[in-house]
Structure 1
Amino acid sequence: MANEYDIVVIGAGTGGYPTAIRAAQLGLRVAVVERQKALGGTCLIWGCIPTKALLEHAHALKIAQGAKEWGLGIDGASVRIDMNQVQARKDKVVTTLTKGVEFLFRKNKIDWIKGTARLLGKGQVEVTGEKPVTLTATKEIVIATGSQPRSVPGVEIDRKRIITSDEAIALKEVPKSIAVLGAGAVGVEF
């Protein structure tokens, strides 16, 4: 049956995609339902990986600004950061890694079903999106939907003045000031 799989994984983040790949390597027929335009989830697209790329730029800037202390001679204009170039490099790093996950899906014959999943009942997953479909999982359904930023009551996220880490990771200029709510891993990095 075309839409019948041993395992259907909902979510292609750091919980979902390794599960799917390993199941396929063990010989199971696997489908992954993911609504984002790329595979990899928060960590790969908006979190761990892109923040580390930005931290590398901040580190390079700090080293360049203290070049004399490191015994480096830099002549000419003052050291500055080009956020367009920073964002372009970050995006390239993210794209390389998400394309790597896509490659592993193809290599292991995993079907990526683009859309939003909804459990219908035992072994049934409805997918809405460009091509609505109902999938049947004969063995297991794995729910690996991850997380997303949430608002604080009374502080509405408008994605312009009040932003989440998703928008912060794509800033085109360094803000003059910023207040960060939250002291978890993501909050501390920003």
Structure 2
Amino acid sequence: MEVILIKPVRKLGKIAEILKVKKGFARNYLIPKKLAIRATEPNKQFIEAQKHDLEMKELKIRSEAEAINNVISGKELIFIKQSADDGRLFGSVNNKEIAESLSKASLHLISHLSIILENPIKSTGVFVVEVRLHAELSTNITVIVARSESEAQDYSRNNKQDTIDLLESSDQQETSTPNDVEQI
């Protein structure tokens, strides 16, 4: 089935692109979520006429997403939760809680659907979570789950030191050349 994308779809295409997809994918996902319309002649003509407006609208949305990305990129969120002695939480931290906390910290409304979390966090520790603000734009934030504020600060210090160590080791690997390679 041929469809015309009216919004960019990750790993599929851009606005006003005509694609051939399976019928089920079009009927059950693309069309109901208003990501695409059927590629009939009237629709093709309509999209061609509206292409510039759609692209400008998408450019505005992307620039807003980039602005939010600049604010939240590398952000560290701390959640204080009750847990057992072995670190398992009495409950969990899910994408809705992360989105609420991130929205408060960044002063921008961020949907829980933008938080890419395979499973809720059910233990204490440091976690890297992907935030997908736009089909072509995503960033990572650090989520620290701890039992107390002091434990969260310890996790934060250790995480920063691990990051510094990782950066230093990657710099050393880039500058060093293997002994068995001849330089010409």
Per the normalisation by structure 2, the TM-score is: 0.21
Higher radius of gyration, 1 or 2: 2
Larger relative contact order (CA 8 Å, sep ≥ 6): 1
Return the structure number with greater strand share. 2
Quick check: which one's helix share is greater?
2
TM-score, normalised to structure 1, is 0.20
